[in-house]
């Protein structure tokens, strides 16, 4: 059966750096932006707010829409599953220090405490250095290029 999978991500820029998420999913190291899957009955803005709260324990607000997938992308994990991704520029509701976040913030990629399914660490990438090569999947690569052109 063919289906759609809607993903929602936040672009958090702080001190001219972008927060990226390094994850270990289905035996692969993946770099993407913080966010995840839209739940049934949920709006996209509510989704990105929920995802930041779950992953970082950070209260955010959406500043503006940045991009929605405008080309076909099949899921890397499931045949006949089209991915639609929505990206928002977000900001923290209050001043924060990376040390306050509930997840590991590292300076190196894939700096997991334990390598297991769902392992995650975050890191900051300089906005003037970010590019498609910083990301794993084709949609995120487009975002990397778009951010580099800002």
User: What pLDDT, on a 0 to 100 scale, did the predictor assign at position 77?
Assistant: 85
pTM (two decimals) = 0.91
User: What pLDDT, on a 0 to 100 scale, did the predictor assign at position 23?
Assistant: 94
What Å distances lie between residue 141 and 32, 60, 61, 136, 144, CA to CA? 9, 24, 24, 7, 5
Contact in structure between 57 and 83 (CB atoms under 8 Å)? no
Split into its structural domains, the chain has a count of: 1
The CATH number of the domain holding residue 82 is 3.90.79.10
Contacts of 75 (CB under 8 A, 6+ apart): 5, 81, 82, 83
In tens digits, the chain (150 residues) has pLDDT values of: 899 999 999 999 999 999 999 999 999 999 999 999 999 999 999 999 999 999 998 999 999 999 999 999 999 888 899 999 999 999 998 877 666 666 778 889 999 888 888 889 999 999 999 999 999 999 999 999 999 766
What Å distances lie between residue 41 and 7, 64, 75, 83, CA to CA? 14, 21, 22, 18
User: What pLDDT, on a 0 to 100 scale, did the predictor assign at position 58?
Assistant: 92
For 1-150, where are the E strands, in sequence order?
A: 3-14, 17-25, 28-32, 35-37, 60-68, 81-92, 105-106, 120-126
Domain limits at 113? 3-148
């Amino acid at each position: 059966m063919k289906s759609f999978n809607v993903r929602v991500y936040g672009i958090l820029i702080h001190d001219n750096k972008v927060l990226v998420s390094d994850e270990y999913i289905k035996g692969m190291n993946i770099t993407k932006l913080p966010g995840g899957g839209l739940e049934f009955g949920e709006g996209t803005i509510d989704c990105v707010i929920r995802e930041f709260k779950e992953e970082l324990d950070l209260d955010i607000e959406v500043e503006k829409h940045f991009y929605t997938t405008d080309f076909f992308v099949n899921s890397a994990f499931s045949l006949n599953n089209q991915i639609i991704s929505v990206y928002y520029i977000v900001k923290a509701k209050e001043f924060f220090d990376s040390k306050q976040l509930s997840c590991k913030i590292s300076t190196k990629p894939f700096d997991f405490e334990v390598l297991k399914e769902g392992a995650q660490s975050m890191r900051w990438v300089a906005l003037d250095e970010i590019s498609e090569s910083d990301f794993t999947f084709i949609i995120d690569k487009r975002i990397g290029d778009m951010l580099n052109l800002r």
